[in-house]
Amino acid sequence: MTTRPDTLEAALVRFRSIFGELAKGAGERDLVGEHPYELVQELADAGFGKLRVPREYGGFDVDLPTLFALLAEAGQADSNVPQIWRGHFTTTEILRSETDSDVRRQWLAAVAGGAVFGNAQSEPADRVAGLDTGSGWGTITTRVRKSDAGERVVSGTKFYSTGSRFADYIRAAVVDGDGHREFVVLPARHPGVDHVDDWDGVGQRQTGSGTTVFTDVPVESHGEIGRHTESLRGLDSFVQIVHLANLVGIARSVLAETVDIVRNRTRTSRHALTQDAATDPDVLGVVGTLYSRTLTAETLLAHAARRLEDAHGTGDEADYADAYIQSSAAQVAVIDAVLASATDAFNAGGSSTARARVHLDRHWRNARTLASHNPVIYKPRVIGDYYVNGNAPVSGYYADRPSAADADGDIERAQS
């Protein structure tokens, strides 16, 4: 086994080498439906999962701008990768606020040692016999109960279980016998866990975002991450900025691949001003526009990441509200920019770029799928209400909690 890097500098070298390997096969994996299991594991072995773990537990403790910049690099290589890791890094953020010292110590040390978390919050929309949690949570049918042996076990079915088939542990939303919702940690590779590869989205096809079936799966010791937290402020912004980083990666990949297409193209069109694509003014204009949109997305990502980092520094509610507004505004503009780039790239290459073996279409499909998370249609209204009426956005992580400090309240919105 390769020795794990013990410094961030050494780890970055490994990460970028793995990103290079991910990029080489990303298009073909999308075409044939192959998951990047080995390369995701190599990232875990190189310490990718401990980027936000505090140094006292063996992590690299990077700031948010650094984390999101690295996720953008990963997204440029293969946009499935940041989404695979999204549930993991969300769990790490929750652990950073965990006040139960035993829970915090056990799981942060596990993550520093290479453990990876997956997500299992949402459920199939056609399930109606469970608890309707309201506030956008949907229905939960997955239940935790005491077994005959006296241990807590979980049974039920989840969908949008992104990253779980790559993980060591899964943080799942369940209801107990009294109908109360909670979150528990389950072993992802237990015999009672069935990972069904049935995600049928138009994009992000190798994220493992399909069905997970639990059958009497035991809850891990200290498996109630997030029950005792100082604050989950900023978590709404955090999970959205992960997607923004991924979209930035897609924009970069669209630009780079389009440049390669233009450089290697041997003809243009009968209406072109030149038959050399690399000197065709209209084609060059397409590339210039792609670059401008990529720069816009990169700048907005860095801005949103810094505002959230600053809010963590002050701990002020007004700063967290502003960070949410900034990430929402970035979401609106980045989605527009990246989807436009993923469409207009075809103008630089003509009909040959529509061939499956060119793989250019995957960028629009992946960006469109990412853009459907945390629906952007609501964000302009939220932003306008904030600036016109002074109404701060309400964090979804507090939507059905009696108070942010209530240790027995509900913790987290479902992560798709």
E-state strands within 197-321: 211-218
- Is the per-residue pLDDT at 315 higher than 90? yes
- Is the per-residue pLDDT at 108 higher than 60? yes
Confidence (pLDDT) at 266:
82
Confidence (pLDDT) at 233:
87
Whether 154 and 143 have beta carbons less than 8 Å apart is answered as: yes
Three-state secondary-structure class, residue 170: strand
Helix (H) or strand (E) holding 177: none
Q: What is the DSSP letter of 209?
A: -
The mean pLDDT of 71-82, rounded to a whole number, is 98
Whether 166 and 210 have beta carbons less than 8 Å apart is answered as: no
Confidence (pLDDT) at 404:
33
E-state strands within 137-291: 139-140, 143-146, 152-158, 169-175, 181-187, 193-196, 211-218
pLDDT confidence band for 270 (50 / 70 / 90): confident
Q: Which of 195-199, 246-250, 351-355 shows the lowest mean pLDDT across its residues? A: 351-355
Confidence (pLDDT) at 413:
36
pLDDT confidence band for 398 (50 / 70 / 90): very low
CA distance 357 to 57: 45
pLDDT confidence band for 227 (50 / 70 / 90): confident
Confidence (pLDDT) at 199:
95
The mean pLDDT of 117-122, rounded to a whole number, is 94
**What residues have CB less than 8 Å from 211, skipping those under 6 apart?**
124, 157, 158, 159, 161, 196, 198
CA distance 132 to 137: 8
CA distance 251 to 57: 35
Q: Which of 187-196, 232-241, 337-346 shows the lowest mean pLDDT across its residues? A: 232-241
158-200: pLDDT as tens digits: 999 999 999 999 999 999 988 888 899 999 999 999 999 999 9
CA atoms within 13 A on the CB side of 148: 0
120-145: pLDDT as tens digits: 998 876 654 555 544 445 678 999 99
- Is the per-residue pLDDT at 408 higher than 60? no
Query: ∠ at Cα 211 (210, 213), nearest 5°?
Result: 155
pLDDT confidence band for 339 (50 / 70 / 90): very high
The mean pLDDT of 39-44, rounded to a whole number, is 98
Which domains are assigned to the chain? 8-116 (1.10.540.10), 120-218 (2.40.110.10), 235-394 (1.20.140.10)
- Among 53, 42, 47, 49, which residue's Cα sits nearest to residue 17? 42
In terms of DSSP bridges, do strands 193-196 and 181-187 run parallel, antiparallel, or are they unpaired? unpaired
- Is the per-residue pLDDT at 224 higher than 70? yes
